[in-house]
Each structure stands twice: as C-alpha cells, then as structure tokens.
Amino acid sequence: MADFQQQKEYCQNQSKDIFYKFFEIGHCYMESCFECNYRTTSAADLRIGDYWGRKYKNDKEKVMKVEQKLREMGLELPELPKPNGLYAPSRRVGNLIYIAGQTPDIHGVRQVVGVVGEDLTIEDGQRSAQICALNILSVLKAELGDLDKVKQFVQIISYVRCAKGFGNQPLVIDGASRLFRDLYGEAGIAARLAIGANELPGGSATEILAVVEAEED
C-alpha cells in the first residue's frame, strides 16, 4: 500500500489491518464497490484512497464497533447467562472459544417457550434464535472483554424444538446466523448444523452453541 501524498509506504498483514478488516466486512465500500465481484476475494487496494492519510487517521477511532451496531439495530446484550447445570459458559483453547448451548433467556427469564410448527411460528422461532445469539455474544464479551476481538465464527450447532414433520429448522436458525452476519459480515457466517428436537431445557424453542475464533492477542 502507498500514501502518494505523503510519499510513504505502508505494509501490514491484512488480518491485522483495520482498513482491510473493515473493507472485508463492508464498512469502507463506496456504492460502486458493492457491484464489484472481487470486493471480498481480491487483496488489491480497491478503495484505499477513501480511508487513507488524514481521513484514515481521523476515522480509525470512529469505525462502528459491534456493540454500537447492536444499539443502532435496536438490540442490546443481555446480562451474562448463568449456567443451569455443572458446566462452564465458555472454554478457550488457543484462539478458539467453545461456547455452551444458549437458550432464549433475557436477564434470567425465558422469552420463547413452545413448539415451532405447533404453537409457535417460524418467525417466533427466529426471534428465539436471535436471543440465543445475543446470549452467545454476552458470553463472548465476558471471555474476550471486547466483541471486536472476534475474528470469525467457525461453527454453530443448533436445536429447534419443533413439531413432528417440521423441516424448516435451517430457516429458524437463520434468526441467529443473520445477526452474526450483520455484525461481522462474511466472518459471521459459520459452518452450521440445525436439527429438530422433541424437548429442550425449560421448554425453550431453540438452543444454540458456537465455536468462535478470536484475534491474536
């Protein structure tokens, strides 16, 4: 990369560069960039002039953080969920964080109880999945201290309490996956399993666990 006005060169691993990181997840695009088929596959400095020099320096601290994005979406992190048994909310191994199954609870109160395809609609199930996702983010914040330290979502395993013959579990869990994608872009789209279940803890409509990779310390 080069700053032609100041006749300086700049080089940094793309995974550690704030400009490239936010370019990849769509925060630094001009309108024309959204139409470019190579915007997430090319390492070329497509719009480096927009976030460079003085403007880059000034905007570096103003780039929207994950929790700020949540607030603008009208959402907030629930308080850290308490385990309902003998297990840890999360466990870190290297840069991977394994997050225990989360149910649709807000401040200890279960929000969505029932059977999708019976007394709950797909939309109810998606709301349940989104709440599970918010609890996953709460656990991540407790583990990392900052949600911007998430590098990528690696895997999501999810369960939907559903009626016999119901086959739209993936559509239900999109309620969680959509939130992660909206917050982290491509890095929020994990490998995923969505399966049906006869029962879940406390009658919850959904339960979701995740594996997340953190940025290098």
Q: What is the domain partition of the chain in residue ranges?
A: 2-63, 71-214
Q: What is the pLDDT of residue 171?
A: 97
Both tokens of 206, joined, read 């959904």
Q: Are the beta carbons of 187 and 153 closer than 8 angstroms?
A: yes
The torsion of the CA quartet 58, 152, 217, 42, rounded to 10 degrees, works out to -60
Which homologous superfamily does the CATH classification assign to the domain defined by 71-214? Answer: RutC-like (3.30.1330.40)
Q: Are the beta carbons of 155 and 42 closer than 8 angstroms?
A: no
Both tokens of 42, joined, read 């090319």
Q: Could you give the residue ranges of the DSSP H alpha helices within the chain?
A: 18-24, 53-59, 66-72, 122-144, 169-184
List CB contacts of 172: < 8 A, sequence separation 6 or more.
116, 122, 125, 126, 128, 129, 160, 162, 194, 206
**End-to-end Cα distance, the chain:** 24
List CB contacts of 86: < 8 A, sequence separation 6 or more.
none
CA dist list (Å): 116 to 124, 158, 193: 8, 14, 17
Higher pLDDT, 86 or 10: 86
Q: What is the pLDDT of residues 139-182, one digit of tens each?
A: 999 999 999 999 999 999 999 999 999 999 999 999 999 999 99
Q: How far apart are CA 125 and CA 158, in angstroms?
A: 12
Q: Which of 53-67, 116-130, 159-173 has the lowest mean pLDDT?
A: 53-67
Both tokens of 107, joined, read 């401040």
Q: What is the pLDDT of residue 39?
A: 53
pLDDT higher than 90, residue 14: no
